[in-house]
Structure 1
Amino acid sequence: MEEELKQTQRELTKIVLFGPESSGKSSLAEALAEVYDTEWVPEFARDYLQEKYNNSAEVCHPSDLIPIAKGQIQLENKLAKRAKDYLFCDTNVLQTLTYAKVYFENFQNDVLEQCVKHHEYTHYFLTFIDTPWVADDLRDKPDERSEMFSTFEDTLIRRNLPYTILKGDLKQRLQKAKSIIKTL
């Protein structure tokens, strides 16, 4: 695997916020990092794709996926060095791969699959779709939220990854997340 795609190994509890667009992942990752006085890793794809859209009015293409994965991992590795005990990741390469399989018919990529196979996370918080959908330049599935949620959950189930569904407002999600984190 390319060096740029290798995950830094540290004794951290790494938790991924996972799920469909506009389901509260970023808000929750930031809030958890504040509660635990640690770092959270923003979604690299958001800035990358927004810049692409601003410059050319183009959306994601399969050729963007490796640069997105590299950017996400580099950001995660950088913040892992500063994190204390926990690192909250607002997405990971599995999220990128899941979206790719939704948007690009018959999508396969051995490099991304190897990343998913070799990267380690302690737990996934699957964010439910009970938050308001907020439109922006990149979000495009307001009427497919249930199907997207099922796709993300099926991904975790098929890969036998540990996860908890978080529902409700931010306060309720934080309370549930903290109770799960105590058990990790």
Structure 2
Amino acid sequence: MYWQKRFERKNPNQKLETLIKKIFDEHKGNYGYRRIQLTLKEKGLNVNQKRIRRIMCKLGLKGTKFIRKSRKYNSYKGTVGPLVKNRLHRRFYTSVPHQKLTTDTSEFKYYERDQRGNIQIKKLYLDPFLDLFNGEILSYRISKQPNAKAILDAQKEAIDKTQDCPYRRTFHSDQGWGIK
């Protein structure tokens, strides 16, 4: 008798199921359970994420329609200017401070919430100048765009800090720029 009554019982999640399906369809399948939960919260419904996931699984809804793989930052644009002679030849060790300095641009992603509570992916670019003698970072710049200004400002600071080197200083980058 228990199971017969249970099968005849109405679905307690019927309204929530139609609302979740509506939100999912409004956003063309881009919303997963997290964004659906935030949207429901904005509408005044506080629903546990496990319940939303269970309903989405039951309805066959997956927010994977437009998943993109994140691209790795690559600033190489081909040969832009004159190539500088490779003076390091993969000899990345030195016994003289401030003789060999290297740099490279690194991209970092971080997440930030906007005023409506949506999560946005932001990027920062780090341009450090590293002394190969002891691995010390002599100067660096952090910028929101990968631009030459940040690199040149960090390079100028590195040049000022390494004035005491009696030998020729070599600034190395894998992009082919340098000081002659």
**TM bracket, shorter-chain basis:** under 0.3
Q: Which has the higher helix share?
A: 1
Higher strand share: 2
The structure with higher relative contact order (CA 8 Å, sep 6+) is 1
Larger Rg: 2
Give TM-score, length-normalised by structure 1. Answer: 0.23
Give the TM-score, by structure 2 length.
0.23
